[in-house]
Amino acid sequence: MVQGIRLTQPDVAPAYDRWALQYDDNHNPTRDLDASVVRAAPLLLRGRDVLEFGCGTGKNTAWLAAQAQHVVALDFSLGMLEVAKRRVQASNVHFLQHDVRERWPLEDEAVDVVVGNLVLEHVEDLVPIYEEAARVLRMGGQLFLCELHPYKQLLGSRARFTDRDTSETVHVTAFVHTTAEYVNAGLGAGFTLVQLGEWSDPGATVGDAPRLLSVLFERRRSHAVS
Ligand SMILES: C[S@@+](CC[C@H](N)C(=O)[O-])C[C@H]1O[C@@H](n2cnc3c(N)ncnc32)[C@H](O)[C@@H]1O
């Protein structure tokens, strides 16, 4: 199953390897709005253990690390991880190259908070992601996700960049997930939905599609061991 998924999107990690050196400098309102959305989320981070998947260049890792006890930050793009490691040199952060579609390299009930931002657009099957989050979270733990809003995706938005060296526009493989999918996959994994957010650009008017969708879940039930 995981191998099958991998074959359908072999371009994603290489695309982010290419994007890495310009990711932080490009005009990117999605990246910037996400930074403010996660910082406004009611996450209980102080002194807690956090897993961030798809950490990218560490835009949110630095902020998580400033509050948490320990952060494990996963990404499968070595290029993105290299930039993140230069940016975040805090001793409480542990970066790992890992594909989130595979079993996460953590014990059961190892962390208090799982955070994933702008990653699931690139993952076809959400169910294993939520199941892994439920497995690694302690009771009472929080799962926070923030993604490009499906309305925005249906209007044609998806992760892309123009390579500074070649002027080529690179479209990264992306999948549309509806709001119901984001919510129901969480409920199916045993999470309780705490907050659903829809976030618009500063200055957006009524009728503009929201740019981002966020979901906050809590683990209030035991994870069913499979
Ligand atoms: C748009 S960037 C977002 C990075 C960061 N979370 C942020 O908000 O700036 C998406 C990141 O997800 C990573 N990613 C996508 N699919 C992944 C997968 N299957 N496993 C691990 N990382 C993945 C990419 O390599 C990239 O760094």
* HEC letters along 128-152: HHHHHHHHHEEEEEEEEEEEECHHH
Residue 223 belongs to a domain: no
pLDDT tens digits, one per residue of 37-81:
999 999 999 999 999 999 999 999 999 999 999 999 999 999 999
Judge whether 155 and 209 are in contact, CB under 8 Å.
yes
Place of tokens 């996450």: 43
Place of tokens 């994870």: 223
Residue 222 has pLDDT above 80, yes or no: no
How many angstroms is it from 14 CA to the middle of ligand 1?
11
How many angstroms is it from 126 CA to the middle of ligand 1?
14
* Amino acid identity for residue 114 in this structure: V
Total domains, the chain: 1
Q: How many CB atoms lie within 10 A of CB 40?
A: 11
Q: 115: left (phi > 0), else alpha (psi -120 to 50), else beta?
A: beta
Residue 70 belongs to a domain: yes
Residue 80 belongs to a domain: yes
Residue 7 has pLDDT above 50, yes or no: no
Q: How many CB atoms lie within 10 A of CB 168?
A: 10
Per-residue pLDDT band for 4 (boundaries 50, 70, 90) equals: very low
Interatomic CA distance for residues 31 and 44, integer angstroms:
22
List all residues whose CB is within 6 A of at least one atom of ligand 1: 12-13, 16, 31, 34, 54-56, 59-60, 75-77, 80, 99-101, 117-119, 122-123, 159
CATH number of the domain that 158 lies in? 3.40.50.150
Q: Domain range spanning residue 199?
A: 2-218
Structure tokens, 187: 């409920």
Residue 225 belongs to a domain: no
Per-residue pLDDT band for 225 (boundaries 50, 70, 90) equals: low
Residue 224 belongs to a domain: no
Kindly report the backbone phi and psi dihedral angles of residue 215, in degrees, each rounded to the nearest multiple of 5, phi listed first: -135, 135
Nearest CA owner, ligand 1 atom 10 = 119
Atom of ligand 1 nearest to the CA of 35: 8
Residue 25 belongs to a domain: yes
